[in-house]
Amino acid sequence: MTQPKARWLEITAIVVVIAAVVRGLTVEADVTQGDVQRIMYVHVPAAWLAFLAFGVTVVGSVAWLRTRRRTWDRLAAASAEIGVVFTGLAILAGMIWARPVWGQFWTWEPRLVTTALLFFVYLGYLALRRAVLDPEQRARRAAIMGIVAFIQIPIVYQSVNWWRSLHQTSSRNSIDGPLRLTLWLAVLAFTFAYAVMLSRRLELARLEDELEQARLAGTPDVAGAAITAPTLEGVTRG
């Protein structure tokens, strides 16, 4: 059942997202790029959310290593899953924007390549989690990987400054007036959406853990239970 706090968070998120969508679709178009520029209201917040989500994964990983509390592991995992979704969305939105503006979906420029690799780093993190069945072992391995993986974030962020590239350095400084306000509203909307998704995913992870523990606490199978005697017309031969 959804708690009142979570309910209020969801209602606020819906309101802010609707406001951002309406604002994003109705604000004046960019003078040079036209309507294509509106994709930035998805691309930039998605990229920001990816950074935030992976930052939360590091916090969860460090906290798990210090406290060994399952809540932190669930937080790290949930945030990484959402981060991967937002990284994929940022790449996709960027590609859709690049086609009319740069003339092609993909160019070999540092921000794109480093973001794509960031996507693979965290796919690897999620693959690692799936590969380990024991919850304690999974949390331990994932916590180490969650911390090491974060090394990629400053590289993605700084890539446009370190290497000459087509990608603009920072969207905050390249637009102003109503467009800038719209971008900030979109960032706020995405942040609320992230908070709601994280809250829901954490609840789901908690229920998954409870189910797993209930299964483990059940009557253990006797030796050889996996091998059942052949049956004939529903009758077990004993």
Partner 1 sequence: MPFWAQVREIARKDLVIEIRTAEVLLMTVPFAAAALVLIPFAIGTDAPLLAELGPGLFWIVVLLFGVLVILRKSAVDEGPQQDLVRLLGIDPAARFTGSTVATSLLVLLFEVALLPILIALYNPDLGGWWWMAAVLPLVAAGLGLLGSLTGGVTASLGTRTSLTPLLIVPLALPLLVGATQAVESLQLGRSILPWLVLLAAVDLALAVSGVLAARPLEEVTT
Binding residues (CB under 8 A) for partner 1: these are: 65, 114, 117-118, 120-121, 123-125, 127-128, 131-132, 137, 140-145, 147-149, 151-152, 155
- DSSP bridge pairs for 232: 235
Q: Which is nearer to partner 1, 11 or 148 (CB)?
A: 148
Q: How far is the CB of 75 from partner 1 (least distance, A)?
A: 18
Q: How far is the CB of 217 from partner 1 (least distance, A)?
A: 24
Q: Which is nearer to partner 1, 100 or 124 (CB)?
A: 124
Q: Which is nearer to partner 1, 115 or 199 (CB)?
A: 115
Q: Which is nearer to partner 1, 46 or 121 (CB)?
A: 121
Q: How far is the CB of 122 from partner 1 (least distance, A)?
A: 9
Q: What region, left, alpha or beta, does residue 237 occupy, with left being phi > 0 and alpha being psi -120 to 50 degrees?
A: beta
Q: Kindly report the backbone phi and psi dihedral angles of residue 30, in degrees, each rounded to the nearest multiple of 5, phi listed first.
A: -65, 140
**CB-based contacts of 31: which residues, under 8 Å, 6+ apart?**
none
Q: How far is the CB of 79 from partner 1 (least distance, A)?
A: 18
Q: How far is the CB of 10 from partner 1 (least distance, A)?
A: 34
Q: Which is nearer to partner 1, 127 or 204 (CB)?
A: 127
**How many residues does this entry show for the chain?**
238
Rounded CA-CA distance 148/130 in Å is 18
Q: Which is nearer to partner 1, 147 or 195 (CB)?
A: 147
- 127: helix, coil or strand? helix
Element spanning 231, H or E: strand 231-232
Rounded CA-CA distance 191/160 in Å is 24
Q: How far is the CB of 86 from partner 1 (least distance, A)?
A: 17
DSSP H helical ranges for the chain: 4-26, 40-67, 70-102, 110-131, 135-149, 152-162, 171-174, 177-217
Nearest to 159 by CA among 111, 96, 102, 124: 111
